[in-house]
Structures are given as C-alpha cells and as structure tokens.
Structure 1
Amino acid sequence: MSLSLHRRTLRETSRYALRGTAGVALRLSNIWCLWTLGPLWALGLAWTLVPFCMAKTQAESLEEDPASGPKHIEIEFADSDRPNLRGEVLTENPRYGMLVQNPDGELIAIGPNTPIAKIQAIDEPMRPTSAGEIATKTLALLPAGAKSLSTEHFVVCYDTSETYARWNANLYEKMFKGMLRFWKEKGLELQPPRFPLVALIFRDKADYIEYSKRDFQGGENTFGYYTQTTNRLATFDLTGIEGVLPPGAKIQREDLLAEIFSRPEAERQIATILHEACHQIAFNTGIQTRLGDYPLWLSEGIATFFESADTRSSSGWAGAGRVNAYNLQQIRFYFRNRPPDSLASLLTQDERFRKGDTSAAAYGECWGLTFYLIKKKPKEFVAYLKKLRERPPGNPSDSKQRLDDFLASFGQDLEKLDKDFVRMMAGLRP
C-alpha cells in the first residue's frame, strides 16, 4: 500500500472512529491522570482500592523523625515467592499501613492483609535506579523485540519505529525544558527529576490496552495516560502507519510528520501526548508533589495550559502560554449557559471533571482560569503553588479549605475576579 493511499484510508477510518469518541477519549485520559488520586485513602492517592492497615503483630511500626527525612527499609514478605522490597517510607499510618517508594520511583502500598516476616532499617540512602537499569526493567512490559532510547530526562521504551519513538522523546524534552524555563522566569524554584522519566510507546493499540488494564479499565477510550503510582507515561502509535509497514521497514522522519500532521484529529492527539507528559513533568520537578493535595481544576489547568499543539512545526509543541484554541472553543460554548456559581463549584468540586456531561466544560473552564491567573496574577499564582506544595500530606482539603486557600491567594472578592475572568475569555483570539 502506498503511503498516500494509507493516509487516505487512515483519515476515513479516523473520522469515523473519532467523530463520536474523541472528546470522551481525551477526557477519560485526562481524568484518569488524576482520577488515580481520588479519595481512595486519606492522602488522596490511589495506592489501592481497599483501605489498608498493617497490624503490629505483623511488623513493629518504625519510629519516624521528620527532621532526618524518610526512613530507608527492606521488607521481607512471608510469601517466599515475593521478592524483598527496598525503599523509602513516605508515610505510615496505624490504620492504613505504609507507603514505600522503591528505587524505580514507584509507590508501593503495603496492604491490610499483607503477611510480613521482617522489616529491617537500612543505614544507607536509597540509590535511584539508573536509566539503563530502568530501561531493562520496563522493556519487559512491552512485546518481545521492544527497544529503548534515552534523552537527558526521559527513558522511552517502544516497539514502534525508532523514528516515531524519537519524535515523541524530542517532544517530551522540548516541553520539559520549556516548562522549567517558564516557571523559573515566574519565580518558582524547581529541581531536576530524581528518577528517570519513563514513557512506553506501543506499536499496536491492543497491546497498549492490555498494558493499561494493570492501572485502570477503559484503556480503549484513551490515547495515553500518566499514573503517579508507577510514575510512567504510556501511549501508542497514533498514526497507525506502523501497522501497514513491512517487517523491518523504516519510515523517513519527513513522511512520518506528514502523516501525523495531515490527520484531522492531529491537534487533539498531539495535545493528549503533551497533556500527559505535562503531568509527569509537573509531579517530578516540584511544580506539584506526588503526595500533595491538589484540586483537580489546578492540576488539569496546568496541563491544559501547556498542552497546546502546533501542527505547523516539526516539534509539535506550540510553547508555554499559548491560547488553547480547543479549550477556548469549549469555554465559550459553556459560557452561553454558565451557572452563576460556576467558578465556586470549579474551585471546590472535582466531580465536574468525572462526569461525561460536564467534563468538557470543566476542562475548558479550568484552562481559562489558569490562563487568566497566570497572565493577570502571576506572582499570586506562584505563591499559591508554593503554599500547596509545602503543605504536609495526610489532611485532604474539604470544599471550604479549598475556597479559603484560593481567596487568601487571589483576593476575597470572588465575584469581581469572576467578572474579570469572563471578560478576558471573551476578548481572546485563537
């Protein structure tokens, strides 16, 4: 099949497949990023779907000294088939158990019925897994024959063509450097990632769906996702071109980009990759913290602020702070019948992001609010991020606390702020 014929076939298939599902797919993907942070435990992090605790008859609780940092331990499980776990104790609770971060950067929950033979304190600090080591481990999660490549901050494991994988890796890196440069100019102190940032790219969507089942159900409705428990990003070949190339055949970068950018859904697909990578970058550089308590409007607002795709540039990313044409369209449609309490509900209620009939408007509005605050109140926005970043984990905010935090950072007159926000959105141009 010629490349031009393949392009036409893909366009027709994609128009049909995405006409009714693209919005839902993208929104489910976005929701999942932080849906895994839902109210599944006191810290708001999805370690397990069942509350857990560790009985003191199984293991003596380790005394914590906050000043000395996390405790380093090795857990020997009673099940001899389960390998020992070494890592840092991030938090421990008599009722819910223990959360351990392993050298790969994964968050491991020790559940209520986990038989433990012994817990031993380790004197030396945990050494994060190297890029080479983590690549070897991650390749086992992909089909046979998968390969890996590394950039300055990312480890990309793939069974697509190297050309497609490298384009994604370069997209991640450009966004990473652009985000850090943006926040540095705004006065937000960040740090380099402690662990390699891992991304999996599957050739076939079926393999991607199968992999996603370990994290959530519904992978067939998504283009990609990031989850904090594993700290990994996963996606698949969005062009579909891999499926028609003969085994071992190579595609030139120019042909690949032409295929990606020629598709009618290209902007949304690239935006999805950028959106999920933004979450991964944010939670690994200190823009946000993985154990932090964040309202969904803020986490998704940051990701939508940076997700703007540029289908006219070979890099694919439009840069930081560009007007997001898709979400501007969503918010303007929503503003036709916007309830008077919309801003207050956005600030205090995550449920709007999780319901199919309200999620598109919620994402549009959170993008608009984030855009407005960063453009009009940048110092206050950075101070707000710092306040939430420095708050100790363990006490999730209720609706009143969320609203109080916002008003303390941006001013007590919410009605005036809302009018300014609406006025700015009305005057924006894509």
Structure 2
Amino acid sequence: MPAVRFRGRSSDRLLSGCLTVCTFLMPVLAGDGKAAAQSSPVWMMDFSYLGERIQGTPLTWSENTLCVLARDGRLLYLDRDKASDFRKIADRFQALDFAGFKAAVLREFGNDFSVTSSTHYLIISPQGVSHAWKDRLEHLFRSATRYYSTRGFPLRNPDFLLPAVICPTWESFQRTAAREGTQLPPGTLGYYDRLSNRILLWDAGSGNPRDRGGIHVLAHEGFHQWAFNVGLHNRVNPPPLWVAEGLATLFESSGVFGGDPYSPASRRVHPARLATFTAAHAGRDHAQWLRKIVQSDAPFRENPALAYAEAWAAAFYFTEREPAKFVTYLRAVNDREPSAGISGRDREAEFTGVFGSDWGNLETRIGRFLSTLRP
C-alpha cells in the first residue's frame, strides 16, 4: 500500500463538506439509498492518486473529497480532483492477507519490528515485547462478542486483521503516535485511531495481568476498535460521543471484560463511574443530563469526568435493560447519510424516535436501575 497522504484525523467526527453519493458509488448503497453501514464493503477498484496506484472500496464521494476503504483497513480521505483512471477490479472487497499486511507494516516501521498474527489481530511490536498481548487481545475480542451477542446485538466478522501496535517505551509510543499525526498528552497509555484502524498501546505493564491501569486502557481502546469493525459503529459515520465512550467505558469493568454475561448486572458495575454519577445526580430529579449528552458532545469538553460517568450510566442501562431499542437506535445512527455535521435537534430526534421524549422518565428509570446495584 503506498504511503498516501490522506485528509482527516481520528478525532474528526464527520467528513468535511456536504457529501453527495455519485452514480459511480451506487453499488455500495443499500436499497433505500443509504450507506449499508453494518454490511461488509463490496466491490473494489484500482485508481491513480498522485502517481501511485491505490486499491480499495469507495465509500463516499463529495465535490472535493473521495473516501476509500483501503485493503489494509485504512480510511483514506483523498482530494477528488487528484484521483483518476478508475478501474473496477473485483466484485468483492479483498483485504490484504497476512503476508501483504506484514510486508506493508515492515515497509512503514522497519525491520526492527516484528509482525505476528492471531485469529483476529495483527500485532506489531519491537523484538522483546511480551507475548501476553496476543492472548489479551483475543480475550478482549471473545469477551466483547459474547457480551453483546447474548443481548441480541447484530455483529459481523471483521473484514481485516485488527492492527495493534505495542510500544515498549513512552518515547517509542510518542514517536509512533507523532508519525501518525497525534500529539499525546502526558499519562496517555493508548488510543484507537479510526482512520488507520489501529490501536496504539504503551506496554507500561509489560503484559502483566495484574496491571489494572493497562487492562483498563486495553479494554477501552480495544473496545473502540472492536466496535468499529464488527458493525456496532460505523467508521465513516461515527456515533455520538455518549454512545462510543459510554460503551467503551462499560467494557472497562472486569465484570464485562472477561466476566459472565449471564451474571447479575451488579457484577458488571463500574464502581468509579457509578460513584461519580451518584455524587452528581443522587436526589436530583429531571436534571436533563441525558438530553444534554444526546444533543451535543460539549459536556465531554466541559466536564469530562462527569460526562464519561453519565455516558456509562446511559449505555449500561440501555444495554442491560432495553437492548432491543438500543440496537434500533444504533442502526439509525449507523445508517445516517454522511454529512458535514448533524444538529443537536437532529441528534435528539434520532434518539427520541426510539426511546421517546419523556426525558425525566428516562432519567428516573436509569437512576432507579443504578440505585439497585451494589458493585
């Protein structure tokens, strides 16, 4: 895969510019004209971009931007006027096999890195990094799949091996992130990049199973990667932050990550998030906190600790008590047509179309559910 420069950052919520799907892209659309977000990509093309050939599936096309899912799993946002000589080369999308992935990774990282694979992951690390990561990643995949499938969430197999980059030192972690255009604040242990589809992890605990901080980071960031690759989320249409972060925070609990999905809900509580939520909202009726995180991502900038706790509370309640409605809501979010943005009013309508508009009643039900739990 050529080292193409592409637009966008992993923090971008939606594409820039109003996207209009062209006739050329119609084979990747569902019958109702909306992007088939939860299905696997279909036909594949080859085209020229800045003198190099790229292979992948076109997902969206605007006046200025072409979004392509490349064979190595990257989302490429390219300048449309610099792309030419389009050729259909296959009726079905074909991801790189392990040999192709390995060759591409070694070209990028160099021969000082090793590349190994497991059932679902492509693990990229310098020599000497703990082999425990392979088992931990597969354990995460099994835990997430079991927890959500038992609650009726429709899942599909990933189209790619999921790349995990393991860095043995903070310095190598920073260098690798900087190469991908990410500046890391102190204390960061890992992140998921939606565009490259990679999780990047600092091996601070050397794979030690007692390293709870590292396990929480693996659970949270690894869940993001899992969710965006099994159809729970849509990489072109990322969900609202309360959904993405609420579900990932839910998975930090040891009762979910590795726990029994059939055990009482009290065993899956996240004690720290519950304590934060309870301290802020105990005894307060109709605080409108749910409506605020549904309408806007602003609470995550204004008071991150509280917003994460509220997102956890909502995601935990809907997953445990109203999973069928939650599935319907997630499908509506995934099937939304890509656009320059979505207004707070539209986000609210998307939510109330499934859960209703009695915010006070919803908050009361969530509060009562949480009050019955003892971690």
TM-score (norm 2): 0.83
Cα deviations across residues 221-268 of structure 1 (Å, max 9, x unaligned)? Answer: 4110111110111112112x6xxxxxxxxxxxxxx63xx52xxxx333
Distance 1:143 1:203 in 2: 16
Please say if residues 17 and 62 of structure 2, whose CA atoms lie closer than 8 Å, have aligned partners that are also in contact: no
Percent identity, aligned pairs only, is 23
Please say if residues 290 and 363 of structure 2, whose CA atoms lie closer than 8 Å, have aligned partners that are also in contact: yes
Distance 2:94 2:348 in 1: 40
Letter in 1 for 2:72: D
SS in 2 for 1:175: helix
Identify, as 1 or 2, the structure richer in helix. 1
Distance 1:121 1:412 in 2: 48
Q: Aligned-pair distance for 1:297?
A: 0.2
Cα deviations across residues 286-315 of structure 1 (Å, max 9, x unaligned)? Answer: 1111112411101111111112247xxxx9
Map of 2:47 onto structure 1:
75
Map of 2:158 onto structure 1:
193
Please say if residues 10 and 193 of structure 2, whose CA atoms lie closer than 8 Å, have aligned partners that are also in contact: no
Map of 1:134 onto structure 2:
101
Map of 1:152 onto structure 2:
119
Q: Does the C-alpha gap of structure 1 residues 123 and 144 become closer, same or farther in structure 2, counting only changes over 3 Å?
A: closer
Structure 2: state its 5+ residue gaps: 1-8, 30-41
SS in 1 for 2:236: coil
Distance 1:43 1:238 in 2: 42
Please say if residues 143 and 159 of structure 1, whose CA atoms lie closer than 8 Å, have aligned partners that are also in contact: no
1:385 equivalent in alignment to 2:357: no
2:241 to 292, 296, 299: 296
Q: Aligned-pair distance for 1:42?
A: 4.5
Deviating more after overlay: 362-371 vs 175-184:
175-184
Equivalent residues, number: 347
SS in 2 for 1:64: helix
Q: Does the C-alpha gap of structure 1 residues 297 and 275 become closer, same or farther in structure 2, counting only changes over 3 Å?
A: same
Deviating more after overlay: 329-338 vs 291-300:
329-338
Distance 2:369 2:127 in 1: 43
SS in 2 for 1:84: strand
Distance 1:406 1:68 in 2: 26
Superposed, 1:291-330 pairs within 5 Å as 291-309=236-254, 317-318=258-259, 322-330=268-276
Cα deviations across residues 308-331 of structure 1 (Å, max 9, x unaligned)? Answer: 247xxxx98446561112211222
Letter in 2 for 1:325: P
Q: Aligned-pair distance for 1:346?
A: 1.1
Q: Does the C-alpha gap of structure 1 residues 298 and 368 become closer, same or farther in structure 2, counting only changes over 3 Å?
A: same
Cα deviations across residues 155-198 of structure 1 (Å, max 9, x unaligned)? Answer: 11112635x2x322222212212222222222222210001101
Distance 1:184 1:292 in 2: 22
Q: Aligned-pair distance for 1:387?
A: 2.2
Q: Aligned-pair distance for 1:388?
A: 2.0
Q: Aligned-pair distance for 1:351?
A: 1.6
Distance 2:225 2:337 in 1: 21
Q: Does the C-alpha gap of structure 1 residues 207 and 319 become closer, same or farther in structure 2, counting only changes over 3 Å?
A: farther
Q: Does the C-alpha gap of structure 1 residues 43 and 359 become closer, same or farther in structure 2, counting only changes over 3 Å?
A: farther
1:281 equivalent in alignment to 2:226: yes
Q: Does the C-alpha gap of structure 1 residues 337 and 99 become closer, same or farther in structure 2, counting only changes over 3 Å?
A: farther
Letter in 2 for 1:107: L
1:103 to 48, 51, 71: 71
Q: Does the C-alpha gap of structure 1 residues 139 and 225 become closer, same or farther in structure 2, counting only changes over 3 Å?
A: farther
SS in 2 for 1:235: strand
Distance 2:330 2:305 in 1: 24
Q: Aligned-pair distance for 1:39?
A: 5.0
Map of 1:350 onto structure 2:
297
Q: Does the C-alpha gap of structure 1 residues 35 and 328 become closer, same or farther in structure 2, counting only changes over 3 Å?
A: farther
SS in 2 for 1:206: helix
Map of 2:353 onto structure 1:
408
Distance 2:242 2:138 in 1: 25
Q: Does the C-alpha gap of structure 1 residues 340 and 353 become closer, same or farther in structure 2, counting only changes over 3 Å?
A: same
Please say if residues 171 and 317 of structure 1, whose CA atoms lie closer than 8 Å, have aligned partners that are also in contact: no
Please say if residues 156 and 169 of structure 1, whose CA atoms lie closer than 8 Å, have aligned partners that are also in contact: yes
1:92 equivalent in alignment to 2:38: no
1:206 equivalent in alignment to 2:171: yes
Distance 1:63 1:394 in 2: 17
Distance 2:69 2:250 in 1: 29
Distance 1:43 1:135 in 2: 36
Distance 1:65 1:111 in 2: 16
Q: Aligned-pair distance for 1:336?
A: 5.9
Cα deviations across residues 368-387 of structure 1 (Å, max 9, x unaligned)? Answer: 11111122212211221222
Distance 1:43 1:425 in 2: 41
Distance 1:68 1:361 in 2: 39
Q: Does the C-alpha gap of structure 1 residues 141 and 235 become closer, same or farther in structure 2, counting only changes over 3 Å?
A: farther
Map of 1:225 onto structure 2:
191
Q: Does the C-alpha gap of structure 1 residues 85 and 65 become closer, same or farther in structure 2, counting only changes over 3 Å?
A: closer
What's the RMSD between the two structures over aligned residues?
2.9
Structure 1: state its 5+ residue gaps: 1-33, 45-52, 54-60, 242-255
Computing the radius of gyration over CA atoms, which structure comes out larger, 1 or 2? 1
Distance 1:329 1:349 in 2: 23
